[in-house]
Structure 1
Amino acid sequence: MLEDIDDNALDEVARVACGGDDYPVYRRGGELPKLLQQAGWDNVARYNNEPRRAWLTNQLRARRHVPGAIDAFVCRLADRREYVHRNEPLAAAEVTQLLNTILATEGFEIAHSQGRPIIRPYKPPTDQEQQTPDVILHVAMADLVRDADLATVLESRLNEARICDRNGAYASAVIMLGSLLEGVLLDAVKARMSGSEKPPERWTLHDLIETAHREKWIQADVRGFAGKLREYRNLVHPNAQVKIGHAPDRDTVSMCWPVINAALNDLAATAT
């Protein structure tokens, strides 16, 4: 599909792949031929020590008319398997978001089917998808979470949850939202209860929800629905899904978004 992608767009794809600056993953020049091989390319040229992005852009342009070559490369960039050895579990979601910004101008996007990236014609979000995550969210993560590094991680999880939701990975979306809630509440406990002797690793999500409600950081309605989100978050354990007898669907995720939004809004409103 991407054989006719614009030269500037192709250069931006190479920029994402090389990384550095504000991009999620930095790749050394010597790593780039392996990346192309992982995308299924044969007879990949050796890296010749020229500037990384220029070298990679030239490789992409040289094969842009080979059917499927650019598609395979872009899909590899968005593939979670590419980041396992880097211990960067959120990188695939961040890279996918960056690539989709580039591809949208070309009329394409990355989606995920059975856990693997695919290229498809761009599909504008439906009205429901546009409204679900953000309709009542009034606070930025960086304004709510005191630890800048943690705020970046949690913002990435919020973005990954959106990507999972949009592409039908509903269990993954719910798990991301549950972990996001846990991270935000734990940061609130550490910031607002400095005298607590309980170490961070001993706090469960249930403890955090109950404490946040008792301290009047979140309202009763958020507490009640957050408990249900906690149950779904536990689906990270496959046996938990077997036990409840069903898998999350779009309706499940649609119920979870307002919980997250309301919890974040409540925490922001009660911050001192």
Structure 2
Amino acid sequence: MSHLDPEVAALLAMGEQPSDADRRHLDACADCRAEVDSFGRAVLAGRASGAGEPLLTPPDRVWESIRSELSLSTPMLDDGGQDDADSAPASVGASRGSRSHLASRRRRVSRRPVFFVLAGAAVAVVAIVAGVWASGGIVPKADVISEARLDGLPGWSGAGGEALLERVDGHDRVVIDLAASVPDDGYREVWLLTADASDLVSLGTLDGSTGTFDVPDAVDLSRFTVVDISQEDVDGDPGHSGDSIVRGTLSPP
């Protein structure tokens, strides 16, 4: 039993109404129903992933993946709308059956509307872009606003690190990279301090040696310019322990 053309399945996934023959085939063929459902999930994922958000320009590797998926290294159709096999002359020894096969193939190509090909391409684009988006391949650009070298404080000889203040989509975040030998007990906490250490704001717990922390919108970064990482005990006290591992002042790069 022949199956639906993939371009037809793509159109059906995007909401095109099937012909009576296609509907009868879908009722009888589980494989084709599965293919239409697969295309449909890709379309839904693509539409949902960008809902209410500004469109972003995909990186070049996305288009490379699309071209590779669709084999677009050469034009899909030549100037006459026929492939090379149709435009090449029949060999001297070709049989009448071979010429009949070419004629039949030419009729099939000419009857296939170009929008079938474009519909298949559209579904492939949606699927690839949705997959890249879901895996984090398409992300807003981060601008580095300031940075700080983190130096070890007394009692933490050899400790160091780096902090970056980044702005992404109008929101600020601090990216931490800590290099220090720390005990297994307790935990590390990241803080923003004023220059005279008279006020401080906790950004959260550092799990491991690296982490990214959102800065609350209410925090005035013109005042809170110092990054501090402290060693904390599990004692229920939310305040700073007074045991700072590293500290550094943010300044423009």
More helix, by proportion = 1
TM-score by length of 2: 0.27
Question: TM-score, normalized by length of structure 1?
Answer: 0.25
Give the structure with the higher percent strand: 2
Larger radius of gyration: 2
